[in-house]
Amino acid sequence: RPIAEHQAIAFKLAEMATKVEAAHLMMVNAARLKDAGARNDVEAGMAKLLASEYCAEVTQEAFRIHGGYGYSKEYEIERLMREAPFLLIGEGTSEIQKTIISRGLLREYKTKN
């Protein structure tokens, strides 16, 4: 029977799709703020942080599902496994994104109090 019919794999696929959708929605929210002319550094940092972390997780899970086939250049997962780690450092490391987020949150807190 197809591997996707196994409950364990189906649940992994559901979790992976949920993570991709959550990251996408955060990116759309940050983009809408930018389009409206509002400050979006906190939201953009959150979107980058979540998307890069989820990308690494989802790619790793997909690689596990593919098993040995994941090493074959015939499948796109091989390329994704090579590229996914770059996203963790590409637009600023996760630690830098956390710094941006926390500074923005503290700035907002100070202006409200």
DSSP string, 50-72: HHHHHHHHHHHHHHHHHGGGGG-
Which 3 state secondary structure label does DSSP give 54?
Answer: helix
Q: pLDDT by residue (tens digit) across 42-97?
A: 999 999 999 999 999 999 999 999 998 888 999 999 999 998 888 777 767 888 99
Is 83 catalytic? The answer is no
Q: Which residue has the tokens 């959150």?
A: 46
**Model pTM score:** 0.84
Per-residue b or e along 73-89, where b marks 16 or more CB atoms closer than 10 Å to that residue's CB: eeeebbebbeebeebbe
Of the residues 15, 91, 95, 108, which is catalytic? Answer: 91
